[in-house]
Amino acid sequence: MKFSCICSTSDVVDIAATANTSSHNGDEEFRLFSYNELKAATTGFKSSNKIGQGGFASVYKGRLKDGSVVAVKVLCIERESMRGEREFVSELTALSGARHENLVRLLGCCVDGASRYLVYDYMENNSITHTFLGRDIDRGSFSWKQRTDISLGIARGLAYLHEEITPHIVHRDIKARNILLDQNFVPKVADFGLARLFRDDSSYISTRVAGTLGYLSPEYAISGHLTRKSDVYSYGVLLLEIVSGRSVVAFDVERGEQFLVDKAWEMYNADELVQLVDPELKGDFSKEESVRFMKVGLLCVQEKSKLRPRMSSVIKMLTNEVEIKHSGISKPGFVADLMDVKVRAGHASSSQSFSPL
């Protein structure tokens, strides 16, 4: 389906019809909500119901008339760039027909004049960042079993997007903040506002890079060359973050800024990867499994995208179905300077359209 810059109500009706035609396994139908329904559900978008805030959107907890609890994303439309509108369309096209245990479920939407709303299942445990990896969080409560289950769940969600659904979907902003957790801590890949659809194995050249510094693959950040391997890179960074409990970028008094992928490479070469495991686990983890997970992370963040594995292969390596070839692990690539990030036609500036860490 093709869209103009403004997504009309008729466009949304077409999406709803397509999504409901392709729905299966007894899933709820994609719904078109009225503004009044969402206003009532969120008690007039009351500030006490706000559960999230981004650059172009706010998210509110709400309760529908049938008693179901939902999350309502309210998008702010920026007139010059139409950023909020583009994110609305991206989320609709990516998620309206997608169903997987490890993807957040889009229940429906609302177009009310110039206002845009998206309605999702409510995630009781917020995001990985909020629950396990944020500042002042007790990471010791993030057990090794939870870390492995969450890592595998994210990988399965990405494998579905990259290899199972047609057209394939590249998320473009995989990071801890965009992985939500339900009441049972099952991970759900969320926030598809930057997603791109691929109808074959071709790549995409972007004139404006979007994403988050530290998670950006070098080829995409520097040249705008986007493929599914760009998501694989971001996943590798996230995997190292989950195992180590470290920030993607940390500051060392002696060495200054240090990227997690660089630290992991250093530890790998010294045969000390196990020393990188989160000390908050206090030794309560499988050394063999933790080292395997970090080696998989390093495979995912290799500088050359063609050397990175597909997500289906990542799952097999994480579950030890296939052996990791140590000779296949090469030096990771990363973008250490904002000025290296491609903005428009290769001209770098300080106005990149990506998120801070």
Q: Which of 14, 138, 173, 271 is catalytic?
A: 173
3-state secondary structure at position 246: coil
CB contact set of 326 (below 8 Å; sequence gap of 6+): 295
DSSP conformation class of 30 = P
Count of all residues that appear for the chain in the document: 357
Q: What is the DSSP string of 69-106?
A: EEEEEEEPPPTTT-HHHHHHHHHHHHHTT---TTB--E
User: How far is Cα 307 from Cα 310, in angstroms, rounded to an integer?
Assistant: 9
Fill in the amino acid letter for 342.
K
User: How far is Cα 194 from Cα 172, in angstroms, rounded to an integer?
Assistant: 6
Q: Which residues are annotated as a binding site for ATP?
A: 73
Q: Name the β-bridge partners of 88.
A: none
Enter the tokens of residue 205: 């050249």
Q: Which residues are annotated as a binding site?
A: 73
173 is catalytic: yes
- Is residue 117 within 8 A of residue 38, CB to CB? The reply is yes
Catalogue the active-site residues. Answer: 173
